[in-house]
Chains A and B, each alone.
Chain A
Amino acid sequence: MSKVIVVTSGKGGVGKTTSAASIGAALAQTGQKVCVVDFDVGLRNLDLVMGAERRVVYDFINVAQGDAKLAQALIRDKRVETLYLLAASQTRDKDALTDEGVERVIGELRASFDWVLCDSPAGIERGALLAMRFADEAVVVTNPEVSSVRDSDRIIGLLDAKTRRAEAGERMEKRLLLTRFDAGRSSRGEMLSVADVLDILSIPLLGIVPEDQEILRASNVGAPITINGSTSPAARAYRDAARRLMGETIPMAIPDDRKTLFNRLFSRRAA
């Protein structure tokens, strides 16, 4: 049975695209057929993060408007053969996507994929609402920072009101993916703790992704962090999150930046 998951946040720059690509790649590496869909019309970036920016011929809007077949627009990843991308249009404006068009494309994707990950644009406008509208579940990406938590609260409200599931009176499952978490700063009281954010948003936790330099390197080279068997803390956190989505129970480890005394002395200087 296929599952449609929206990766959303309200606030921009918290890691929606990175998370969608990393979790998508991690799911696909288990042999599941995965399609990651970019809903950010006019500001697409998922193609770039996944290293497929030069292979986009047809996009989501072409398919939604019937100008291209879904099979023509799907871009198959060159490294993981069960991973596909449906790019957003870079040249059209946001109103080019309609409710009916999106519903039809999502329906077609459901028929041929195990997982459909909808990478939502930031904000609470049309694009973000369409990305969540036909989803079965939501992953709410949040940074341990006041503006991100506030916007996530708003998005949770919209998930409970504006999705098809919510309108039908069904439960819309929402899980929190806490990104850019710094265990050290949190333990020193400089950053909201995991418990703080969970307490405020009161949705279950899908994963904790630590701040990790490897994330930037991964986007620099266009390879999701989970793709190359990386053992960096963020890659492990994303793999664990993907397995939790698949229903496995994996203990939640708060990623600890275990530093040697030597490293600690050096990093303090920069702080």
Chain B
Amino acid sequence: MSLFRFLKPRGSAPVARERLQILLSHERAAMGPRDLVALLRDELLATIGRHVQIDPDKLVVKMDRATGYSTLEIDVEIPCDTAAPARPQATAA
């Protein structure tokens, strides 16, 4: 019975990841103590930081609410020496 067990993917980490993502999206929405602007700033920093080195204080996120619509303003200052991100090196054959 257990002969083919090794053929199945054994990892439970993807399950953990998926459960957490669903749970936290609900909890964040329900509790809402985490300021949306702060959350956006953190996620933007993480995303931009993966490609370009930026000074965290040079990322300004502002949200303005008016009747009927809201505006989100994102201002990122990128140092000129890192403006062109290095692409991952193509593997030399």
Contacts and interface: CB of A to CB of B under 8 A. Distances in A.
Contacts of A200: 17, 20-21, 24
The size class of the interface chain B forms with chain A is: 20 to 34
B77 interface: no
B10 A174 contact: no
A118 B76 CA distance: 32
Contact of A192 (B10, B17, B42, B57): B17
Interface stretch (A33-41, A62-70, A85-93, A146-154): A146-154
B34 A157 contact: yes
A166 B33 CA distance: 12
A196 interface: yes
Nearest to A200: B20
The size class of the interface chain A forms with chain B is: 20 to 34
Given A160-B39, A173-B56, A200-B24, A191 B13 contact: yes
Interface string A78-90: 0000000000000
B71 to A, nearest CB: 18
A188 B16 CA distance: 14
Nearest to B41: A171
A160 to B, nearest CB: 4
Contacts of A203: 42, 46
A112 B68 CA distance: 52
A259 B9 CA distance: 23
Interface in A181-205: 186, 188-193, 196, 198, 200, 202-204
A204 B21 contact: no
Contacts of B72: none
Contacts of B34: 156-157, 160-161
A160 B17 CA distance: 24
B22 to A, nearest CB: 11
Contacts of B19: 146
Interface in A106-128: none
Contact of A146 (B10, B20, B33, B49): B20
A226 to B, nearest CB: 26
A156 B33 CA distance: 10
7 closest Cβ contacts across the A-B interface? A189-B11, A157-B34, A160-B38, A202-B43, A157-B33, A202-B46, A161-B33
Given A190-B13, A191-B13, A202-B39, 11 more contacts: A150-B20, A153-B28, A157-B34, A158-B33, A160-B39, A171-B57, A192-B13, A196-B16, A200-B20, A202-B42, A202-B46
